[in-house]
Amino acid sequence: MTQLFDFDSINLSPFVDGKRISLSGADVIPTYDAASGSVLCNVPVSDENIVNDAVASAKRALKGPWAKVIPAERSRMLMRVAQLIRKDAARLATIESLDSGKPLREAKGDIETSARYFEYYAGIADKLQGDTIPLGPDFVSFTMHEPIGVTAHIIPWNFPLVTTARGLAPALAAGCTAVVKPAEQTPLTALVLADILTEAGVPPGVVNIICGPGNKTGALLCEHPDVAHVTFTGSVATGKTVMRAAASHVASVTMELGGKSPVVVLADANMDDALNGTLKAAFMNAGQVCSAGSRLVIEKSCADAFLDKLAARVGAFTLGRGIDDPDIGPVISEQQVRKVASIVAESGAQTLAGGKLGKPSGLNGWFYEPTVLLAKDARSVAVQEEIFGPVLTVQIADDFDHACALAEDTPYGLVGGIYTRDVSKALKFSRHLSAGQIFINQYFAGGVETPFGGTKNSGFGREKGLEGLKAYYAVKTVTARL
According to the binding rule CB under 6 A, does residue 371 interact with ligand ADP?
A: no
Shortest distance, position 235 Cβ to ligand ADP, whole Å: 4
Contacting ligand ADP (CB under 6 A), which of 156, 170, 330, 454?
156
Pairing assessment for the beta strands 391-397 and 295-299 based on DSSP bridges: parallel
Q: Is 154 in the site for ligand ADP (CB under 6 A)?
A: yes
**Are 410 and 455 a contacting pair, CB within 8 Å?**
no
- Residue 256 appears among annotated catalytic residues: yes
Least Å distance, CB 156 to ligand ADP, is 5
156, 182 contact by CB (below 8 A): no
Provide the minimum distance between the beta carbon of 220 and ligand ADP in the complex, in angstroms, as a whole number.
8
Sign of the Cα torsion 402, 405, 409, 412 reads positive
222 binds ligand ADP, rule: CB under 6 A: yes
Measure CA 442 to chain center. Answer: 19
Choice between 158 and 380, CB closer to ligand ADP: 158
Using CB under 6 A as the binding criterion, the count of chain residues that bind ligand ADP stands at 16
Q: Environment class of residue 92 by beta-carbon count within 10 Å: exposed (0-12), middle (13-18) or buried (19+)?
A: buried
* CA 191 – CA 16 distance, rounded (Å): 11
In DSSP terms, 362 is beta-bridged to none
Taking CB under 6 A as the criterion, the residue among 215, 318, 342, 479 binding ligand ADP is 215
In the complex with ligand ADP, which residue's Cβ is closer, 169 or 219? 219
Is 238 one of the binding residues for ligand ADP (CB under 6 A)?
yes
Cα–Cα distances (Å) from 394 to 295, 350, 416, in that order, read 6, 10, 15
Applying CB under 6 A, does 343 fall inside the site for ligand ADP?
A: no
Answer yes or no whether residue 234 interacts with ligand ADP by CB under 6 A. yes
> Whole-number minimum distance, CB 395 to ligand ADP, in Å?
25
Of 454, 340, 19, residue with least CA distance to 207: 19
- Binder of ligand ADP out of 42, 83, 141, 241 (CB under 6 A): 241
96, 106, 119, 256: which one is catalytic? Answer: 256
Span interacting with ligand ADP, options 40-48, 176-184, 264-272, 421-429, rule CB under 6 A: 176-184
Instruction: Point out which span in 143-151, 192-200, 237-245, 289-297 binds ligand ADP (CB under 6 A).
Output: 237-245
Residue 36 engages ligand ADP in binding (rule: CB under 6 A): no
Residue from 290, 369, 386, 404 carrying the catalytic annotation: 290
Instruction: Point out which span in 115-123, 181-189, 265-273, 473-481 binds ligand ADP (CB under 6 A).
Output: 181-189
Residue sitting closest to ligand ADP (CB) = 214
Q: Is there binding between residue 214 and ligand ADP (CB under 6 A)? A: yes
- Of the chain, the end-to-end C-alpha distance in Å amounts to 72
Tell me which H or E stretch contains 419.
Answer: strand 415-419
Pairing of strands 177-181, 150-154: parallel
CB burial string 316-326: b at 16+ within 10 A, e below? ebebbbbbebb
Residue 115: closest CA among 62, 150, 79: 79
Name the H helices within 371-418. Answer: 381-384, 400-408
Question: Coil, strand, or helix at residue 47?
Answer: coil
Closer CB to ligand ADP, 193 or 352, in the complex: 193
302 has catalytic annotation:
no
What minimum distance in Å lies between the beta carbon of 292 and ligand ADP? 14
Q: Is 183 in the site for ligand ADP (CB under 6 A)?
A: yes
Q: Is position 141 an interface residue for ligand ADP (rule: CB under 6 A)?
A: no
DSSP per residue, 67-82: HHS-HHHHHHHHHHHH
Closer residue to ligand ADP in complex, CB, 246/319: 246
Closest approach of Cβ 355 to ligand ADP, in Å?
22
256 binds ligand ADP (CB under 6 A): no
| Residue 218 engages ligand ADP in binding (rule: CB under 6 A) | yes
DSSP code, position 204: T
Regarding 242 and contact with ligand ADP (CB under 6 A), the answer is yes
Q: To the nearest whole angstrom, how small is the minimum distance from the Cβ of residue 182 to ligand ADP?
A: 6
Instruction: Say how many CA atoms lie within 13 Å of 162 toward its Cβ.
Output: 23
**Residue 373 near residue 350 (C-beta atoms within 8 A):** yes
Query: In the structure, how many helices (H) and strands (E) does the chain have?
Result: 15, 23
Residue 155 within binding range of ligand ADP, rule CB under 6 A: yes
From CA 350, how far away is CA 303, in angstroms rounded?
Answer: 15
In whole angstroms, the minimum distance from the beta carbon of 86 to ligand ADP comes to 26
CA separation for the pair 136, 31 (Å, rounded): 62
Q: Is residue 99 near ligand ADP by the rule CB under 6 A? A: no
Tell me how far, at minimum, the Cβ of 6 lies from ligand ADP, in Å. 26
- Contact residues for 327 (Cβ-Cβ < 8 A; gap 6+): 103, 283, 317, 318, 319, 370
Chain contacts with ligand ADP (rule: CB under 6 A): 154-156, 181, 183-184, 214-215, 218-219, 222, 234-235, 238, 241-242
**Residues tagged active-site:** 256, 290
